[in-house]
Chain A
C-alpha cells in the first residue's frame, strides 16, 4: 500500500507526516469510496476519527480517519477537507458511530448516513459546537479581589 499505489490506483495524494504514518489525502466526495478501498485492502480495523478545524480555509473541517491493518502491521490515516457535510463511514466501520457523533457534537460536522447523529458528550440542548477554532474557550475571569460574605460561627 505505497503512496504510488494510492496515487495511481486510487487517484489520491499521499502526504508525509512527522510520525511516518502513511497519510492519504482524499477529496470529500470520494471519502466513502476510498475508505471502502482501504478496508478491502486490509485496513479493516477502525481506530479513530477526529476533526481539525481551520476556519481560514473555506473547507474548514479536516476530518482524519485512522485505520489499522493486522496483516500489514501498520496504520493508515485518511484525511479530507469539508465545509460541513461528509459521508458517514459507519456502514464500513461500526465503531465509527460514537466518533462521528462526537465530531458532530463538538465541531458540527454533519455525517450523511449516520444512524443516530445526536450529541454525545454535551447536553442535548447545548447551543453551539465548542471545539471549533472560532468558538471561545468559555473561561470565566478569576477575580481575586472579591470577598464573599461568610456567615461563620467560628
Chain B
C-alpha cells in the first residue's frame, strides 16, 4: 500500500566499515535508528489530524519507537510531511529539511504531499518530492492511521537494512 522511491546511497557510517566488529556496529546503528525514529512536528493540514490520531491512544505510534514528536527539527530524524504544501510554505519545508541532521528520512503522507492530491492548481506544489527527497509515499486523503503506521514500519524495515540519506 505504501510505495518507495529513491536509492540506497552510501552515507557516513561513522567511519566504522570493515571487519566483523564494524559490521556488527553498523548493524546495531541501523537497528537503533530504525527503532527510535523521532518525527519532527510537521503537520500542515488535514493529514496532520490523522497523524495526531496515530500518535494518540488507539493507534499509538510510540510503540514503534516514535516516542516523541520533536518540535525542533534539529532533534528529529523523520519529517512526515502531512498535508498540502502551498507556494509560501515550500521554502519553509526545504529549510526545515535542511535543518535536520543526517541521517534523515522523509515520509510524504497523504495525496497532497505525494502528488498534489485533488489540488492540481496554481497554489499547491504537486508533490513534496519536488522540494525534498522522499523515502516513503503514503497515499490516502487522509490516509488511515493504520496506513501511516504501515508506511512507517516499511520505512523502518528499510532503515534497518541500511538505507539512509
**Which residues of A are in contact with B by a Cβ distance under 8 Å?**
121-123, 126, 130, 136-140, 142, 148, 150-154
Contacts and interface: CB of A to CB of B under 8 A. Distances in A.
Contacts of B122: 130, 136-138
Contacts of A123: 87-88
Contact of B8 (A137, A139, A153): A153
Contacts, number: 38
Contacts of A152: 4-7
Interface of B: 4-8, 87-88, 116, 120-123, 126, 161, 163
Contact of A151 (B7, B87, B121): B7
Nearest to A141: B120
B120 A153 contact: no
A140 B87 contact: no
B5 A126 contact: no
A137 B121 contact: yes
Nearest to B91: A123
B123 to A, nearest CB: 7
A151 B6 contact: yes
20 contacts: A121-B88, A122-B87, A123-B87, A123-B88, A126-B87, A130-B123, A136-B122, A137-B120, A138-B123, A139-B120, A140-B116, A140-B126, A150-B4, A150-B6, A151-B6, A152-B4, A152-B6, A153-B161, A153-B163, A154-B4
A154 B7 CA distance: 10
Contacts of B120: 137, 139-140, 142
Contacts of B8: 151, 153
Contacts of B7: 151-153
Contacts of B126: 140
Given A122-B87, A139-B121, A154-B4, 5 more contacts: A121-B88, A137-B121, A150-B4, A150-B5, A153-B7
Contacts of A148: 5
Nearest to A126: B87
User: Which one of A138, A152, A154 has the highest number of Cβ atoms from chain B below 10 Å of its Cβ?
Assistant: A152
User: Which one of A122, A150, A153 has the highest number of Cβ atoms from chain B below 10 Å of its Cβ?
Assistant: A153
Nearest to A138: B122
Contacts of B121: 137-139
